[in-house]
Amino acid sequence: YVPLRGEDGVDLPGIGREDDGLKGGLNGIDNGRLSFDHVRIPRTNLLNRYGDVAPDGTYSSAIDSPGRRFFTMLGTLVQGRVSLDGAASWASALGLKIAITYATQRRQFDGIDGQEVVLLDYGKHQRRLLPRLATTYAQIFAHDEFLQKFDGVFSGRTDTPADREDLETLAAALKPLSTWHALDTLQEAREACGGAGFMFENRLVGLRADLDIYVTFEGDNNVLLQLVGKRLLTDYAKQFTGKDAAALAKFAVGQTAGKLFHGAGLRQFGQSVADFGQVARSVENGLREEQQHLLLAERVQQMVADIAARLRPGAKDKALGSKLFNENQAELIEAARAHGELLQWEAFTDAVHRVEDADTKKVLTWLRDLFGLQLIEK
């Protein structure tokens, strides 16, 4: 598309090339930069699969809708994000496999019967590793759904503009969560293996170094979550289009603070969490699948509704709108994160329902509860 070197192998005039040098990880991949100074690129050498420019400068595209065109082009990025989400989830799994294996073999200090205790029998060690294991399962099940959606769109079976937009939003929600989780998990796994965890041959430090940049490339995590947050706000606003004043007023009354704990008997569960001071005990008191789902789903709804209400005064004033948006940006990103966590929880639960073997189902249900409860605790 753009010739860089002449027949003699020397850079053509106006072409600059540089290696990026040593990076914080992923040094098995070379990164570099190209610069062009007064280099003319033939119009016919454009990457013009979806759009073209005529000799007189007019733009044309086979895809009429600008929205559809935008999401078709963005689709290319989804391939990277789906890969990153999978790689990060499996890196977390690998880190935990290493740390849990170590924890079931390594003994430290006396137990009751005089035998040294394996690390995994320590309460703190369980607390460090098992909730992360539960999250990793949730992410892998969510990744599977992401792959199915990706396959649907890219095979053309379910390739409408709405499908592409959904895929884009799913990618933007899941990639940040799995890549941040991978860094957190690899660090915890490294520490959980003590000094052995720091040895390069035990893989944890190498994985951590290589995974570091996953939170940034193919879309910075916070920027991606902001995209999800905007979609949540748009979907939220859509419920009101065409509604009359009475319906809106009724809705506003429903949006009182603390609604979360007043609906569907949830207050009782919230109270039992507070009484026991421990979210784990409350599962015995009935914080089961439906209640977990309600709490997690209403958390997202409440967060989005609160932000939408704070943004409303800026609806007709662009400057005020930007100011309010910026003031609420951090909360919007948190709402997007909560939405991603809900998707993971739902994917985990659907997967549990599909399991036929009774014992596997039982253990996976425990693990799903652990995932749900740690979110509620947080």
- Binding-site ranges for ligand FAD (CB under 6 A): 23, 26, 31, 213, 216-217, 219-220, 222-223
Comparing CB distances to ligand FAD, the nearer of 23 and 259 is: 23
Look up tokens 């890549």; give the residue.
179
CB of 79 to ligand FAD, least distance (A): 12
225 CB-contact burial (10 Å; exposed 0-12 / middle 13-18 / buried 19+): buried
Can you spell out the DSSP letters for 283-326? GTTT--HHHHHHHHHHHHHHHHHHHHHHHGGGTT-HHHHHHHHH
Closer residue to ligand FAD in complex, CB, 36/217: 217
Closer residue to ligand FAD (CB): 206 or 263: 206
In which residue are the tokens 């939408």 written? 308
Kindly state the greatest CA–CA separation across the chain: 87
Neighbours of 48 (CB within 10 A): 12
CB of 223 to ligand FAD, least distance (A): 5
Least Å from the CB of residue 81 to ligand FAD: 11
Shortest separation between residue 284's beta carbon and ligand FAD, angstroms = 41
Least CB distance to ligand FAD at residue 23 (A)? 6
What single-letter DSSP state applies at residue 199? S
What minimum distance in Å lies between the beta carbon of 167 and ligand FAD? 19
> Residue 49 or residue 267: which is nearer to ligand FAD going by CB?
49
DSSP run (H or E) holding 16: strand 15-19
Which is closer to ligand FAD, CB of 22 or CB of 358?
22
CB nearer to ligand FAD: give 161 or 321. Answer: 321
Q: Which is nearer to ligand FAD, 180 or 261 (CB)?
A: 180
- Is 31 or 105 the residue whose CB approaches ligand FAD more closely? 31
Least spacing, CB of residue 126 vs ligand FAD, in Å: 33
Q: Please, what is the minimum distance in Å from the beta carbon of residue 225 to ligand FAD?
A: 9
Residues 79, 220: Cα–Cα separation, whole Å:
15
Question: What is the token pair recorded at 351?
Answer: 């997967």
The alpha-helical segments, DSSP class H, found in the chain are: 66-105, 123-154, 161-192, 204-211, 221-238, 245-254, 259-262, 266-276, 289-311, 318-327, 329-354, 358-377
Distant-in-sequence, close-in-space partners of 202: CB < 8 Å, separation ≥ 6: 98, 193, 196
Phi and psi dihedrals of 33, rounded to 5? -135, 150
Name residue 117's beta-bridge partners. Answer: 108
Question: Is residue 361 packed enough to be buried (19+ CB in 10 Å), middle (13-18) or exposed (0-12)?
Answer: middle
- State the minimum distance, in angstroms, from the CB of residue 237 to ligand FAD: 21
Identity at 120, one-letter amino acid code: L
Q: Indicate the residue among 85 and 298 with the shorter CB distance to ligand FAD.
A: 85
> Closest-CB residue for ligand FAD?
222
Distance CA 141, CA 134 (A): 11
**Which DSSP string do the residues of 134-177 spell out, in sequence order?**
HHHHHHHHHHHHHHHHHHHHHTTTT--HHHHHHHHHHHHHHHHH
